[in-house]
Amino acid sequence: MRVAVLTSGGDSAGMNAAVRAVVKQAIVRGCEAYVVREGYEGLIRGNIEAEGSSDSGAQTPPQVTRDSQGVEANLRFGYGPLLRDWEGDSTDDPTGKNLKGRYIVKVGWDDVRGWMGEGGTIIGTARCAGFRTIEGRMTAAHNLIKEGINALVVCGGDGSLTGADKLRGEWPELVAKLHQNGTITEEQANASKHLVIVGLVGSIDNDMAMTDLTIGAPTALHRICESMDNISTTASSHSRAFVIEVMGRYCGWLALMAGVCGGADFVFIPECPPEAESWEDQMCEVIKRHREVGKRKTMVIVAEGALDKNLKPIKPDYVKDILRNRLQLDTRVTTLGHTQRGGRPCAYDRILPTLQGVEAVNALLESTPETPSYMIGINENKISRIPLVEAVKQTQAIAQAINDKDFESAVKLRDPDFKESFNGFIMTSSLDPEHMLPKEKHLRIAIIQLGAPAGGMNAATRTAARYCLARGHTPLAVQNGFKGLLDDAVFPLSWLKVDSWMTRGGSELGTNRATPDADSLGDIASKFQKHRIDGLFMIGGFEAFTALLTIEEARKHYPQFHVPMIHLPATLSNNVPLTEFSLGSDTSLNALVDACDSIKQSASASRNRVFIVETQGGMCGYLATMGGLATGAVIVYTPESGINLHRLRADVKFLQRRYELDEKGKAEGRLVLKSEKASSVFTLDLMTQVFKEEGGSLFDARSASLGHTLQGGIPSPMDRARATRLSLKCMSFIEENAWAHRSLPEKGRKAKKETAAVITITGSSINFTPVTELVEHADMKNRRGINVWWADYKHLTEIMGSKDYFSGKL
Ligand code: ATP
């Protein structure tokens, strides 16, 4: 197959990672890879034939041709640097290569080198009116046929994917017409009977239905949160109000998540307009209450496409006037504009497009004329193939529902956590007494942070505390883990106290690794009694899991422990069994990506340097593996697979071979990621020495140990959002179980084992898994899960890093 990939519509961070993955996976699967410059515009422009050349699609022959069957034949076609540093059609490369008149470009493995960390789209994108016409699509079809391309990956928004599906639907007709009018030969017509298409959703708005996240949306949210965090300090200093306009003409995801993750006071989005007759009154009432309890800053988020319930647009300047005139707040408007689109992709926008790009090529290769065109989506943590037409239809149905003022349907059609996030935002931002429960339902809920600090711990605490206060419960903060409980360091949290905790890293309550044991359980039980604890919320890593297990087992001795207890995994190691994500792991991945981007730059500057970067993570290789995928590392060493001489020898051989095949004078810096506990024998120092020695004149080696920097500073938006969503679920869990427990006769009341649970994300579902069940999935000795979902990604990282491919040829 000849597989082409293009980017279309608005640019988004992560598009380059998608192109890179498609190109590499296409080559791995034995296909030839092409990129189309400038979206559909490039398809229509095609390749202007050089004088005297045939139009067979055979472009400049590869520079390395030692093995015409293998990867070396596809190593590079020389357009990579030109594509990357494109300065317009007039630029000539010293090698004589030129992109002038060349829009469908054959590329090899090395041509997409280093693309993962770049924002925007290197191959260009455009809005192309011509492609909306049948004539335009006919020309595009002709250009694809000339190049012998029969498979297309389109990365863009719903418009781009609609166009793609149209092209596929019309394809047989277009081929027949081109043949009839003599534009293509019979041979070409026969060879081009079918075009297969797969869509990747690249859009910062996260506006596509049937998938949780689109490529670029997480990075845009990063940019927004960075700006909000910055604005927040000045707002607080001057006690000002800020009205912040964010992108999202038809979809309020960015605005809503900005509101949740940035701790805003009010959000305006198209899907959920304020219910009150006068939204002005409603907003002022909410903000007035916030000010009355002592809040010094006010942040209101307005989506570009915000509407009131009569579909009248809500504009930032008008919101500002209301705040100024009615509340006498010194109010400023900040329009974030295109800063949201730009910049380096966050870790998620490197991993997601890589996984989806690989899946797109696999879907192309498995397509038959009968299968529908797929769009590659993600649901929670599951990459899925979704019929493209259905997803586009559902997306359009949302817009229609908004137009029809059917907001309930609009929200339902968005992904499942949209409504949850909105309700969660209201619950945690408003001081409205409407959610207050009757007194007899009030609970005292203890919140404890355990283990090493992890991004999102404080956000989870804030959410839990705010939820409790909205319902009339008492949120009890336990300082310094179980030690603090034993010292009675327990105090109620107030609404204002936790206000800025959404954005704070570390652990505001104080945390340590001490867990209950036979000696302390009795005292802990008496503290449960003393503080009248009706439910326990533990935020932490493996320690929290083992603590919960110990307390659950002690229920047979201590009736005080017969209360609902829930553990929310929070650890950068992501080593809690059965859950695919822990709070803090995304923050750490981003810290790792930031560090590795700088290291890689340094490694590349010296051309031929291999950097071995050591990561934290205990006996769990999650961080090294996913970090490897996000940074384009060539080799990953994890505690699960260990290191031995045989492996080391093969890896050295691979690196030697890889450097031999680099273009003369253009050798690359390369990254190797190693978990700190991958081996007790092959230490970072030893491996660096070995690589250095064996690299000889081909490559040099250096090391860097990232250590505690990986805890990250400010938690990532993803961790803040997850903390909010999961924390709210944990609070509902405690409420339901505590009330059910209370309703039992007091004498001999016992809590079921299901009431001591861990909230876990598995595939596309969120579960409360009894801690007793979790043990069966735990490798207690190594403090990690027995089966992990990311196990195969080490292999994938090394495929993308070319190691497996080259090793097979050695
Ligand atoms: P974004 O979410 O960033 O707006 P998008 O893909 O929705 O991305 P559009 O401008 O709607 O952006 O579409 C991009 C291009 O896709 C258009 O310029 C056009 O070339 C093509 N396209 C869009 N809709 C159609 C259609 N109905 N038929 C054919 N081509 C289309």
Ligand 1: which of 6, 7, 8 to mutate, judged by most atoms within 8 Å of the beta carbon?
Answer: 8
Sign of the four-CA dihedral 53, 54, 55, 60: negative
Cα–Cα distance measured from residue 343 to residue 223, given in angstroms and rounded to the nearest whole number: 8
CA distances from 416 to 380, 404, 765 (A): 10, 21, 11
- Model confidence at 644, pLDDT cuts 50, 70, 90, reads very high
Question: How high does pLDDT run on average in the chain?
Answer: 91
For 350-390, the pLDDT digits (tens) are: 999 999 999 999 999 999 988 999 999 998 788 999 999 99
Q: Which residues form ligand 1's pocket by a CB distance below 6 Å?
A: 8-10, 40, 127-128, 131-132, 156-160, 162-163, 166, 203, 205
571 among annotated binding-site residues: yes
Q: In residues, how long is the chain?
A: 810
- Model confidence at 67, pLDDT cuts 50, 70, 90, reads very low
Rg, the chain, Cα only: 28
Locus of tokens 């995994």: 569
Instruction: Report the candidate in 232, 331, 323 with the shortest Cα–Cα distance to residue 285.
Output: 323
Q: How far is the CA of 395 from the centre of ligand 1 (A)?
A: 13
- Model confidence at 96, pLDDT cuts 50, 70, 90, reads low
Which domains are delineated in the chain? 2-50+65-213+345-397 (3.40.50.450), 217-340 (3.40.50.460), 436-582+715-780 (3.40.50.450), 593-710+792-806 (3.40.50.460)
For 279-292, the pLDDT digits (tens) are: 999 999 999 999 99
In the chain, what is the straight-line distance between the N-terminal and C-terminal CA atoms, in Å? 26
Angle at 490 between CA 489 and CA 491, to 5 degrees: 125
Q: 693: which residues sit within 8 A by CB, 6+ positions away?
A: none
10 among annotated binding-site residues: yes
- Model confidence at 72, pLDDT cuts 50, 70, 90, reads low
Segment among 72-81, 119-128, 265-274 with least mean pLDDT: 72-81
For 666-716, the pLDDT digits (tens) are: 777 899 999 999 999 999 999 999 999 999 999 999 999 898 888 878 999
Exactly one of 11, 205, 265, 534 is catalytic; name it: 205
Cα–Cα distance measured from residue 761 to residue 783, given in angstroms and rounded to the nearest whole number: 18
Reported pTM: 0.93
102 among annotated binding-site residues: no
- Model confidence at 69, pLDDT cuts 50, 70, 90, reads very low
Q: How far is the CA of 391 from the centre of ligand 1 (A)?
A: 15
Q: How far is the CA of 9 from the centre of ligand 1 (A)?
A: 6
Give me the mean pLDDT over the 288-315 stretch: 96
82 among annotated binding-site residues: no
State the pairing for strand pair 778-779/784-785: antiparallel
Phi, psi of 158 (to 5 degrees): -65, -30
Q: How far is the CA of 212 from the centre of ligand 1 (A)?
A: 21
- Model confidence at 94, pLDDT cuts 50, 70, 90, reads low
Cα–Cα distance measured from residue 355 to residue 387, given in angstroms and rounded to the nearest whole number: 18
Phi, psi of 679 (to 5 degrees): -160, 140
Cα–Cα distance measured from residue 345 to residue 772, given in angstroms and rounded to the nearest whole number: 39
Give me the mean pLDDT over the 127-154 stretch: 96
For 736-753, the pLDDT digits (tens) are: 999 998 888 887 788 899
For 543-590, the pLDDT digits (tens) are: 999 999 999 999 999 999 999 999 999 999 999 998 988 999 999 999
Cα–Cα distance measured from residue 417 to residue 402, given in angstroms and rounded to the nearest whole number: 18
Q: Is the pLDDT of residue 806 over 70?
A: no
Phi, psi of 175 (to 5 degrees): -65, -45
Task: Identify the residue with better confidence: 50 or 546.
Answer: 546
Whether 519 is a known active-site residue: answer no
For 381-418, the pLDDT digits (tens) are: 889 999 999 999 999 999 999 999 999 999 998 877 88
Predicted local distance difference test score (pLDDT) of residue 50: 53
Predicted local distance difference test score (pLDDT) of residue 446: 98
Predicted local distance difference test score (pLDDT) of residue 603: 67
Cα–Cα distance measured from residue 264 to residue 255, given in angstroms and rounded to the nearest whole number: 10
Q: Tell me what percent of the residues of the chain surpass a pLDDT of 90.
A: 76
* Helices 622-631, 585-605: crossing angle, 10 deg rounding: 50
